[in-house]
Amino acid sequence: MDFSEAVSKAVIDAIADLNEILPGDVKIQTDPDTILFGSGAILDSLGLVQLVSIIEQRITDDIGVEISLANERAMSQKRSPFRTVGSVTAYALELVGDAK
């Protein structure tokens, strides 16, 4: 499995982990266009923090690379890397690539 597939799997697995603890009527779809943050978002700020934390832990456990998704680089971007499932996956992949 290449890094792209491994990061995608880690994000999807993190979403599944979070879905287990979300209320029954709130479930995150793993479609890349699913909105996570901002207008029309599924998650509130606490839910987003939980997801980010789970993604970071999954990447550490599954890939062996420690990253920090919620860093100055993420906060300074014009468009949030946490906007959609696809954008957080791409951002995580970028950080994993930088760490390798």
Question: By the 8 A CB rule, do 18 and 69 touch?
Answer: no
Chain centroid to CA 96? 13
Of 58, 54, 64, residue with least CA distance to 28: 54
Q: Against a cut of 0.95, is the pTM above it?
A: no
* pLDDT tens column, 35-93: 998 888 988 989 999 999 999 999 999 999 999 998 888 888 888 899 999 999 999 99
Question: What Rg, from alpha-carbon coordinates, does the chain have?
Answer: 13
Cα angle 57, 63, 68 (rounded to 5 degrees) comes to 45
Domains delineated in the chain: 3-99 (1.10.1200)
